[in-house]
Amino acid sequence: MALISLEDLDGLDDEQLDDDITDNPEPMEQDDRLLRHWQAVASTHQVSVPAEMTGPIHEMTRNNQQRESVPFAAVSRHEKMGEVQYEERVYPAGNWACVTRGEELYEQSISMGFMKLMRFICKDNSAGRYLGMTVPVVSNITMMEDGKTFQKDVKTAYFLPAEFQSAPPQPSDPDITIIHQEPIRVITRPFFGTTTEETVTSQIEQLWEILGVTDDLRRDNYMVAVYENPGIPRRRNEIWFIRRHL
């Protein structure tokens, strides 16, 4: 989905940042550089990044190597000629911070939703501290009746780190909701590169071709998981199909 959210978290690595600090003793100038970097990426998705995002961008970039994986239990793995066709997993119950946006473009909804989640992660919460990043960040897509077109509203979800699962910090932003998600069983298939509505639709079609006809998987709802940043030429993503029953 060409997410500004995760695709930019590692846009400037620690060595680059340290060089900036050495060459430029003014912290605000370094922060401005990070903001400009995000704004340049966001502009390709027709999204504006406001100056108020400077703090969260700086903090998440500083902590970009400290990421916690969303837990899951592997059920099965299917390969063909050494290439993963799909995996089946069960994700346990847990608390997610979620925000829904309904912008004109899919990329805009995801980007703007995650900017809200970034502020929540970076101290805009009842704990008053940086919560830590988890991956993947997941977007939930609901299909129109034709089964091919995305509805405008897209929910972006961030899994709370383990230390906050039992007592989730509350968001200051009323658009963010802490949701306790029951366990889900999914069929996942990896893909690489950007995640626009076009590329995600293509991945949905490809996985249906592999799986064939089955009534056990939902066709009205899909999920997209994003793991990596724009510094990697083949960014890792996954399309998730949801089983109706565990």
What confidence tens digit (pLDDT) does each residue in 22-47 have? 344 454 566 677 788 778 777 777 78
- Looking at the fold, whether 107 and 31 belong to one and the same domain comes out as no
| Domains in the chain, number | 2
- Looking at the fold, whether 17 and 104 belong to one and the same domain comes out as no
Kindly state the helix (H) or strand (E) to which residue 37 belongs, with its residue range.
helix 27-43
Range of the domain at 115: 67-243
- Looking at the fold, whether 14 and 47 belong to one and the same domain comes out as yes
Of the three residues 42, 62, 82, the one that is the final residue of a domain is: 62
| pLDDT greater than 70 at residue 75 | yes
Q: Which residue has the tokens 């639709």?
A: 201
> What digits encode the pLDDT tens for the residues 104-159?
989 889 888 989 999 999 989 999 999 999 999 999 999 999 988 999 999 999 99
- Looking at the fold, whether 53 and 123 belong to one and the same domain comes out as no
pLDDT at 233: 53
- Looking at the fold, whether 25 and 122 belong to one and the same domain comes out as no
- Looking at the fold, whether 19 and 41 belong to one and the same domain comes out as yes
The mean per-residue pLDDT over the stretch 187-212 comes to 92
Ranges 44-58, 129-143, 170-184, 209-223: which has the least confidence: 44-58
Band (pLDDT 50/70/90 cuts) for residue 49 is confident
- Looking at the fold, whether 11 and 76 belong to one and the same domain comes out as no
- Looking at the fold, whether 56 and 124 belong to one and the same domain comes out as no
pLDDT at 9: 42
Tell me if 240 sits within 8 A of 186, measured CB to CB.
yes
CATH number, position 132: 3.20.80.10
For the chain, report the end-to-end CA distance as a whole number of angstroms: 28
- Looking at the fold, whether 22 and 84 belong to one and the same domain comes out as no
pLDDT at 11: 45
- Looking at the fold, whether 50 and 110 belong to one and the same domain comes out as no
Bigger pLDDT: 21 or 197? 197
Of the three residues 38, 62, 86, the one that is the final residue of a domain is: 62
Single-letter amino acid, residue 91: Y
- Looking at the fold, whether 79 and 50 belong to one and the same domain comes out as no
Phi-psi region at 81: left, alpha or beta (left = phi > 0; alpha = psi -120 to 50): left
pLDDT at 97: 98
- Looking at the fold, whether 42 and 72 belong to one and the same domain comes out as no
pLDDT at 144: 94
The CA-CA-CA angle for residues 103, 47, 3, to 5°, reads: 85
Tell me if 189 sits within 8 A of 86, measured CB to CB.
yes
Model pTM score: 0.83
